[in-house]
Amino acid sequence: MSNDNVIDMNERGGNGFNRSFIKLGIIIVVIIAILGLIFANLFVVKEGEYKVIRQFGEVVRIVEEPGLTYKIPFIQSVTTLPKYQMTYDVSEAEINTRDKKRMLIDNYAVWRIENPKDMISNARTVVNAETRMEEFIYSVVRTELGKLNYDEIINDEKSSRGSLNDIVTEKVNELLEKDKYGIVVTDVRIKRTDLPEENEQSVYTRMISERESTAQEYLSRGDADKNKIEAETDRDVKEMLAKAKAEAEKIRAEGEAEAAKIYNQSFSKDPEFYSLYRTLESYKKTIDGETIIVLPSDSPYARLLMGYTD
């Protein structure tokens, strides 16, 4: 009997097992590749950002809400745009005021992307959007400051800067909206105003002169107020002294009258004492250390001086 018709079952079973194992390995590799491809095209949208999905260079979808999303492999790509507010330093520029003064203005702007699709369509990039925004800011600032005099811009007491910032912000947004750049300026502020170097000294000299003039005006007003106060005080003092003197004279007259009344009442009770008192009072006025009196020895005046009372 021929051996050609004999089948080795051990050999056949081994080859079948190997083929099954290879197929299983291929399936696992394919599954892993598919899962890897899926995970590679999933991405997370974070708070404060836009995800822009492009297909062959064209924007097909913009994702704004935070979370997990996807893109089609190989034919779509993802870029990120900021959703939060950003600050942009506008380049320093020279402007002319209404009174023909040259000034250097330094601004900054706070802005954000409001419509990513419009921004990409018309500005293409964030850098281009900032460039267009800067051009509009410079144009509006130059126009608005050109309506003001130099002193109104730099002088804190006369400054219109508060309302000027609001006006510039509003007008820049109008220009951005008109051209559909998809961005909004929250605020435009003037950081610094300077003079060109060749004009600084003349302006400083004029400012010093104005300040000295103002100081002199204050001093003159102070001197005038001082003289006025002194005149009013002198008048009040004179009135008070006159009133006090009149009051004193009145009191003195009343006292003398009262004293005379008391003297009369007292002296009327003893006329002899009154005579003696009047005599003694006359001595005080007629006799001093150099007085010489010649009197008869028997006169009452001499007797009193010598101490005789009988």
**DSSP per-residue string spanning the chain:** --GGG---HHHHHHHHHHHHHHHHHHHHHHHHHHHHHHHHTEEEEPTTEEEEEEETTEEEEEE-SSEEEE--TTTEEEEEEE-S-EEEEPPPEEEE-TTS-EEEEEEEEEEEES-HHHHHHHT-SHHHHHHHHHHHHHHHHHHHHTTS-HHHHH-TTT--HHHHHHHHHHHHHHHHHHTT--EEEEEEEEEEEE--HHHHHHHHHHHHHHHHHHHHHHHHHHHHHHHHHHHHHHHHHHHHHHHHHHHHHHHHHHHHHHHHHHHHHHHTT-HHHHHHHHHHHHHHHH--TT------TTSHHHHHHTT---
Mean pLDDT of 70-78: 79
Does 64 score more than 80 pLDDT? yes
pLDDT in tens, 267-309: 777 777 777 777 777 777 676 667 676 777 777 766 766 666 5
pLDDT of residue 17: 63
pLDDT in tens, 18-31: 777 788 778 887 78
pLDDT in tens, 216-226: 888 888 888 88
Mean pLDDT of 154-179: 78
Mean pLDDT of 46-75: 82
- The C-alpha atoms of residue 131 and residue 276 are separated, in whole angstroms, by 122
Band (38; pLDDT cuts 50, 70, 90): low
Does 137 score more than 50 pLDDT? yes
Give me the chain's average pLDDT, please.
80
Does 162 score more than 70 pLDDT? no
Band (15; pLDDT cuts 50, 70, 90): low
Domain limits, the chain: 13-82, 86-201
pLDDT of residue 131: 93
Band (9; pLDDT cuts 50, 70, 90): very low
Higher pLDDT, residue 111 or 2 = 111
Mean pLDDT of 90-100: 84
Candidates 3.20.20.370, 3.30.479.30, 3.40.30.10, 3.30.200.20; CATH matching 86-201 = 3.30.479.30
Does 40 score more than 60 pLDDT? yes
